[in-house]
Structure 1
Amino acid sequence: MRKIGIILVLILLIGGIGGAVLATWDMPPPTQRMEKVIPNERLPR
């Protein structure tokens, strides 16, 4: 039972650290322009 508690604490600790990293990470937005041609047959009428 003690091992399960230690494992749960480690999972919560790793999840908290990962959440903090993702919340503070200043990832730059994509800069490459992307265009896709959709045929008229696929558009709703």
Structure 2
Amino acid sequence: MNIIEVKNLVKSFKDGPDVTTVLKGIDFNARRGEFVAVMGRSGAGK
């Protein structure tokens, strides 16, 4: 059984007239009892 399910996630940031898409079309699920970590370099916006 999934406790978290994400389908077709899109995340964008607007800076004045500019739009930067940082995630596009992300699918993800986590099941009960699984451990999940978000990793990336310092300053990456985790």
- Normalising by the residue count of structure 2, what TM-score does the alignment of the two structures yield? 0.23
More strand by share: 2
Which one has the largest radius of gyration? 1
TM-score (norm 1): 0.23
Structure with more relative contact order (C-alpha pairs < 8 Å, separation 6 or more): 2
From the two aligned structures, give the one with the greater helix fraction: 1
